[in-house]
A and B are shown apart, each in its own frame.
Chain A
Amino acid sequence: MIEEGKKRVWSDYQKEIPDDHYFYVRSCIRQSFFPGSEQFFLRFMRDILGKDFFENPSHTTCTGIGYHADVVPFQTIQTVVARHFALMKESGYKNIAISCVTSFGIYTEIIETWKHFPQELEKVREFLYKATGREFDVPENMAHTSDIIYKFRDEIAAKAKNLLINKKTGEPLNIVEHIGCHYAKMFPKYGVGGAEFPRVLSGMIEAWGGKVIDYPERRHCCGFGFRQYLVQANRGYSLSNTIKKFSSMQPYKPDMVLTNCPGCTMLMDKWQYTMKEMENVVYGENGESIPVLTYEELAGLVLGYNPWDLGLQYHMVQSEPLLRKLGIEYDPDDKYKTSDGRQMPIPENMINV
């Protein structure tokens, strides 16, 4: 592998990521499955870096899942997104920070459509005005929140309490990076590093001391694929794609998978349970499954946050093997306690415990 070649590709795909003042939009899935991620992101940006990230409680789903499942028409989703832009305008912001890769793809697709077909933009302005009386501006800048963590990766490295190094062996952790398809595959110019050799996650891993695994099915879809997963009859197809990915990464003995897409995090995490149940197969070492983390969760671990405050216990594949490798101390008794100390129910059949 010629690193210089990758650097050349990365240099072709540099995007402008604003330093401050964002209108922040959440993800439907992440709030449910990985609630610590968005919470960490906002706390870190606001409290540690002192940045301005504004949320408007009237923000809704982008309806992207419905759009990709062919139940929400394009003009409808354009109008929903236009409403988000109207909320942003009313709140006085020009930069948008998007937590979800599906939404990021939707917003990008819509803005590109408007660039190439201005008549669509005019139609949507009319739809939104008639429906809500609102007006909107197209954002001046659009960043996925992984772009923003990438931008501040060196600041995080400078404050690191736990580098991505196996404390026992002193070797860097082997980390698989998985980029959501809708981050850059549709519009490579809007992704850090482009679509073929994306830099957004590998840049974080390297900045924090880890080693990036480049395996044959690195670019392959996680298996989510919307209709593949959402239509129950297609789930075998979804699962076969996930198996393809995990089988391909297995020889490299990954210590963890890092993702930037809610659907990918969910699927690569939860399908490992399914694969174990169906075929008694695990893809990590020592009979363990491979922890799948979001970039905010990993950034939080690097910065020394309590893993349970980051919400790692809400994953299907538990992260204890990773925490042990990193030498992170944790209290197993606190794992399912609320912030005021009340015991929550403990899930059964947890993986990696």
Chain B
Amino acid sequence: MGRRVVVIGGGVAGMEAAGQLARRGCNVTVFEKETETGGHVKNWFHLFPDRKDSRDVLRYLGNKINHNNITLFTGIAVEGIRPSNGSFSVFTGDGNEITADAVVVATGFDLFRSEKKEEYGYGIYENVITSADLERMFRKDQIRMHDGSIPGKIGLVHCVGSRDEKAGNLYCSKLCCVTAVKQAMEIAEHLEDAKVFCFYMDMRMGGAMYEELYREAQENYGIGFIRGKVSEVAQNIDNKLIVKVEDTLTGRPLKMEIDLLVLMAGMEMSEGGKKIAQSAGLDTGENRFFKPADLHFASNESNIKGVFYAGTCTMPMNITEAISHARAAAADVMDYLDKQKN
């Protein structure tokens, strides 16, 4: 038994897992479907909770996979995995087949397609954007409305495609609340005169330093937090957005005129992940993410021995958690390969 490992996905978890395995002497092949590694992080500007520049994380991960034991293929997706005589055949979109002794699935997540929440008008009203669109604006240092003017009143809608039966996602994406807080603060920094409002169901600030960030947003940045789910967005004759929401703390319906509305898109199982799950017979959960063998003590193991999971292909998680999960996956792979050898 050799130590050939295929890592599917070159995002945070894939890069970290590949780096860990390479350091331990495995021959690692990484397939990334995009033309660049880095996953969603490369589209983000600053990261919560400490506002670290995302490029710092990418630099760290880039150094990890810059290793002699790693062969990286970008622009190539994996289409399927098949067990074959104690090893695995991994099939790629360009028609090739590669043999591996173990496989790490790190296919990450897709952002919820916000246009599916039709009532918010993403893709129809020009000034309705997503959290990812806003990050691109941060990077360019230009928060602008569609006509190029500076927005005065900005709304951030939490839970877009999360905790939403109608959208088919009952789970919480965990990171949208803190993303909204971070983005609201960054907007306030970029646009001194802007009024910023967050429309939330519950503030789920469950990570280290998240709650502190939320407090800072209220005390030092004057961000308005309105507890209520946006029910409908329309546009008036002056091209301003009209947002309807019920303020559940005052028990009154609100109708607000907003210049720019940012939708906090949730996290979903990636399309690439779904394909692999189907072709390889890997179990998925009710939330459609890959289902770990056990949520408590085998969160990196799959229902197929030798196939492991790393990162957000199993559930929404932040970068810290994805890196830790990837390291744990690497440890499980090493154990597995050692046992196979003996």
Contacts and interface: CB of A to CB of B under 8 A. Distances in A.
Contact of B234 (A2, A217, A251, A252): A217
Interface in B116-152: 118-119, 121-126
B237 A252 contact: yes
Contact of A197 (B118, B237, B242): B118
B119 A196 contact: yes
Interface string A196-218: 11000000000000000011111
Contact of B115 (A5, A195, A219): A5
B261 to A, nearest CB: 14
A219 B125 CA distance: 15
Interface string A213-254: 011111100000000000000000000000000000001100
A6 B236 contact: no
A216 B242 contact: yes
Contact of B124 (A9, A217, A218): A9
User: Majority SS of interface residues in chain A?
Assistant: loop
B124 A5 contact: yes
Contacts of B122: 5
Interface residues of B, number: 15
Contacts of A9: 115, 118, 124
Interface in A244-284: 251-252
A215 B236 CA distance: 6
Interface size class of A (residues with CB under 8 A): 10 to 19
B235 A214 contact: yes
A261 to B, nearest CB: 19
B237 A2 contact: no
B202 interface: no
A221 to B, nearest CB: 12
A14 to B, nearest CB: 15
A216 B126 contact: no
A265 B235 CA distance: 24
A5 B234 CA distance: 14
A216 B118 contact: no
Contact of A8 (B115, B126, B236, B242): B115
Given A9-B118, A196-B118, A216-B242, A2 B124 contact: yes
Given A215-B236, A219-B232, A194 B123 contact: no
A1 interface: yes
A219 B118 contact: no
B206 to A, nearest CB: 33
Interface in A1-33: 1-2, 4-6, 8-9
Q: Which of B118, B125, B232, B234 has the most CB of A within 10 A?
A: B118
Interface of B: 115, 118-119, 121-126, 232, 234-237, 242
16 contacts: A1-B124, A2-B124, A4-B123, A5-B115, A5-B121, A5-B122, A5-B124, A6-B124, A8-B115, A214-B234, A214-B235, A215-B237, A216-B234, A216-B236, A218-B234, A251-B236
Interface of A: 1-2, 4-6, 8-9, 194-197, 214-219, 251-252
Given A1-B124, A196-B118, A216-B236, 18 more contacts: A2-B123, A2-B125, A5-B121, A5-B122, A5-B123, A5-B124, A8-B115, A9-B118, A194-B118, A195-B118, A214-B234, A215-B237, A216-B234, A216-B242, A217-B234, A218-B234, A219-B234, A251-B236
Closest 4 CB pairs of A and B: A5-B124, A5-B123, A196-B118, A216-B234
